[in-house]
Amino acid sequence: MRHTLHHVFVQGAFALVAACGLAAPAWAQTAPNAAEIARYQGLHAAAHSGDVARIAQLVAVRADLNVRDANGRTPVHVATFARQRGAIQALAKAGAQLELLDQDRYDAVTIASVADDEESLRLLLSLGASAKLVTSRYDGTALIAAAHLGHDGVVRQLITAGAPLDHVNNLHWTALIESIVLGNGGPRHQATLRALLAAGASTRLTDRQGNTPLAQAKAHGYAEMVQMLEKAGAR
């Protein structure tokens, strides 16, 4: 019986993911490719290479700090994809907006979160970037994306920064639900679930079919997650 339920949950989850055009392993982001990087000029080029001196020169002549490339990426987005933290800091200090979304509807915080880049995320949050934005074509959040991927350190940072714990995306999943239905039940997804429960994330919100997180964990055979949820009073 458990195997049948597990099969139903898994097939239903990934059928919904596929129907929405989502690749199963991770939310779709588009980092600059080699051809785009080769064409970069000005602040985009400086951001990608981490050339803080060049950024300062361009700031001095009033270059547009939020200029977009063909995919809607600002220099801050490019610097975040490239993990160029000096460039992120220089751009932010000069007044670049940290909450802008690229063409795929990702902000720098979500880009760093999906990349499991805790250092860049910590810097962005310290510079005033928000953990509360609704991002991606799935109307999700950085917290949902990180929970899906089991990036537990990122999840803890986002929770501390005030990320909405119970935001429901357009797949009708919360961060807590995604840590189960799109996770692998392993140590990092367990740590993610533990952090969400400790922060007070709801165990009562269900998926579109009315399945609770506890039912989902049981159906997947994730015994450790079942124990955590039951200890938290989930039904």
Examine the pLDDT at 218 and tell me if it is beyond 60: yes
Q: What is the pLDDT of residue 134?
A: 98
Q: What is the pLDDT of residue 104?
A: 94
Q: Which amino acid is at 10?
A: V
Q: What is the mean pLDDT of the chain?
A: 91
Examine the pLDDT at 21 and tell me if it is beyond 80: no
Q: What is the DSSP letter of 136?
A: T
Q: What is the pLDDT of residue 29?
A: 87
Examine the pLDDT at 16 and tell me if it is beyond 50: no
Burial of 128 (0-12, 13-18, 19+ CB in 10 A): exposed
pLDDT digit string, tens, across residues 84-134: 999 999 999 999 999 999 999 999 999 999 999 999 999 999 999 999 999
Provide the terminal-to-terminal Cα distance of the chain, rounded to the nearest Å.
19
What pTM was computed for the model? 0.89
Q: How far apart are CA 102 and CA 138, in angstroms?
A: 14
Q: What is the pLDDT of residue 28?
A: 72
CATH class of 131-235: mainly alpha
Nearest one of 38, 41, 42, 37 to 81, comparing CA atoms: 37
Per-domain residue ranges for the chain? Answer: 131-235
Q: What is the pLDDT of residue 27?
A: 54
**Residues 205 and 197: beta-carbon distance below 8 Å:** no
